[in-house]
Amino acid sequence: SQTIHQWPATLVQPVGSPLSLECTVEGTSNPNLYWYRQAAGRGLQLLFYSVGIGQISSEVPQNLSASRPQDRQFILSSKKLLLSDSGFYLCAWSRSGQAVAQYFGPGTRLTVT
Amino acid sequence: GENVEQHPSTLSVQEGDSAVIKCTYSDSASNYFPWYKQELGKRPQLIIDIRSNVGEKKDQRIAVTLNKTAKHFSLHITETQPEDSAVYFCAANAGGTSYGKLTFGQGTILTVHP
């Protein structure tokens, strides 16, 4: 069966500091991968998606970036965090295709102080 | 792009009652409609989904109906229990894309009172 991991689970960072969140998927090959942000416990905003190694598409302009160095690894980064970057960051995976379910990781709760 | 509207934003019911959450979508090419349940502090979990080639799907106490002509779909929960209390999200895919992009509704906070 497939498993998705995220770390860290919680993170408190000062404004202006860098960020690196990691997501890995087990039990599947060539998944589509997604990064979402959820603010205030409501609404899921798609930030990035990837259909393959090195292939990243951005949905929302911001000071975040994403990378996919390996087939089942997805990384979310920032060079300088803003207060508005606080939120619950969720990674998700799906099989390739159009009408497919997405499965979410446990999430990282980021607080920027 | 796709726009998904979800109603109501909050819903309060007594244990044993039924609960209905409705969503409308804008992209007529959408053909996949999942529902997620998110408990406080946890990840969203897929509870049921429907594809556009069927009008209704049931799984024990939950069901989803789809009206393609009107572009709306609904989640029905019967015999609600306190553990059904959570935030529920509907979503619709972008039919014109080559990957499974989902657009989510804003969520419904369901509270089931014992």
Give residue-wise pLDDT tens across range B27-85: 998 999 999 999 999 999 999 999 988 899 999 999 999 999 999 999 999 999 999 99
Q: Which of B13-17, B49-53, B110-114 has the lowest mean pLDDT?
A: B49-53
Rounded to a whole number of angstroms, the distance from the CA of A82 to the nearest CA of chain B is 22
| Average pLDDT over every residue of A42-62 | 88
Check CB contact of A51 with chain B, cutoff 8 Å. yes
b (16+ CB within 10 A) / e for B39-57: eeeebbeebbbbebeeeee
Phi, psi angle pair for A108, to nearest 5°:
-125, 125
Residue A41's pLDDT is what? 61
| Average pLDDT over every residue of B18-32 | 95
Of B36, B49, B100, the CB nearest to A32: B100
Among B68, B102, B109, the strongest candidate for a mutation testing the A interface, having the largest count of A CBs within 10 A, is: B102
Average pLDDT, chain A: 93
Retrieve residue A70's tokens. 């390996």
Q: Which of A14-18, B3-7, B24-28, B92-96 has the lowest mean pLDDT?
A: B92-96
Scanning B34-73 for CB atoms below 8 A from A yields 34, 36, 40-46, 49, 51
pLDDT above 70 as % of chain B: 96
Contact assignment for B100 to A43 by CB distance below 8 Å: no
Residue B99's pLDDT is what? 67
Contact assignment for B43 to A105 by CB distance below 8 Å: yes
Rounded to 10 degrees, the C-alpha dihedral B93/B95/B97/B98 comes to: 90
Residues on chain A touching B40 (C-beta within 8 angstroms): 41
From B36, B37, B39, B44, select the one nearest B91 (Cα to Cα). B36
Rounded to a whole number of angstroms, the distance from the CA of A107 to the nearest CA of chain B is 6
Over residues A11-49, the pLDDT tens digits come to: 999 999 999 999 999 999 999 999 999 987 678 999 999
| Average pLDDT over every residue of A61-81 | 94
Residue B36's pLDDT is what? 98
The one-letter amino acid at A22: E
Contact assignment for B106 to A107 by CB distance below 8 Å: no
Residue A97's pLDDT is what? 77
**Dist CA A60 CA B61 (whole Å):** 37
How many other β-carbons are positioned within 10 Å of the β-carbon of residue B17? 13
Check CB contact of B78 with chain A, cutoff 8 Å. no
User: With 60 as the cut, is the pLDDT of residue A55 above it?
Assistant: yes
Rounded to a whole number of angstroms, the distance from the CA of A61 to the nearest CA of chain B is 16
User: With 60 as the cut, is the pLDDT of residue A69 above it?
Assistant: yes
